A = this chain, B = another copy of it.
Amino acid sequence: MAKRSVTHATFIIERDYDATPERVFKAFEDTEAKRRWFVEGEGWIIEEYTADFRVGGFERSRFRFKEGPVMTNDTVYQEIAPNERIITAYTMTIDGAPISASLATIEFQKRGNGARLRFTEQGAYLDGHDDIAGREAGTRELFDALDRELKRAG
């Protein structure tokens, strides 16, 4: 068993989208849309994806990259203000081992004809899985995928 450790850190990502806050929010609310940008991707094998978008509801993903280890993301919705903000808590595991627990705040603001998304992750990174720059980079890739989803849907 790995020695237990917890590293706490916070990072913030801001992104401007060429879509209204309502459309960006919808890409989080709608299970089919969210699956496309949040879990699917070339080389990724999705073993499970279920969502229940309401306060107290869980979203569960189970996936791996090609022959890599199984990874999971269990998200629980903590606060939802339609078109304005979503707060989740999410945990991740790799190969059965917990690697992180995070509080994620997503705020949507109107900017001209589009929307600014502000994402704040307050995380507890476990047992040496404290590559916070890597987590931030992975999260930025998700918001790139969200941009593609909005362009596709637009």
A interface residues, Cβ below 8 angstroms from B: 4, 6, 8, 10, 55-56, 58, 74, 76, 78-79, 81, 84-85, 87, 89, 91, 98, 101-103, 105, 107, 120, 122-124, 126
Contacts and interface: CB of A to CB of B under 8 A. Distances in A.
A91 B105 contact: no
Given A8-B122, A74-B56, A120-B124, A89 B103 contact: yes
B79 A91 contact: yes
Q: A-side binding surface: helix, strand, loop or mixed?
A: strand
A2 B55 CA distance: 19
B103 A102 contact: yes
Contacts of A120: 6, 8, 124
Contacts of A8: 10, 105, 120, 122
Q: How many copies does the complex hold?
A: 2
A79 to B, nearest CB: 5
A10 to B, nearest CB: 7
B103 A6 contact: no
B78 A105 contact: no
20 contacts: A6-B87, A6-B107, A8-B105, A8-B122, A10-B122, A78-B91, A78-B101, A79-B91, A79-B101, A79-B126, A87-B101, A89-B89, A89-B103, A101-B105, A102-B103, A103-B103, A103-B122, A122-B122, A122-B123, A122-B124
Contacts of A76: 76, 89
A76 B55 CA distance: 12
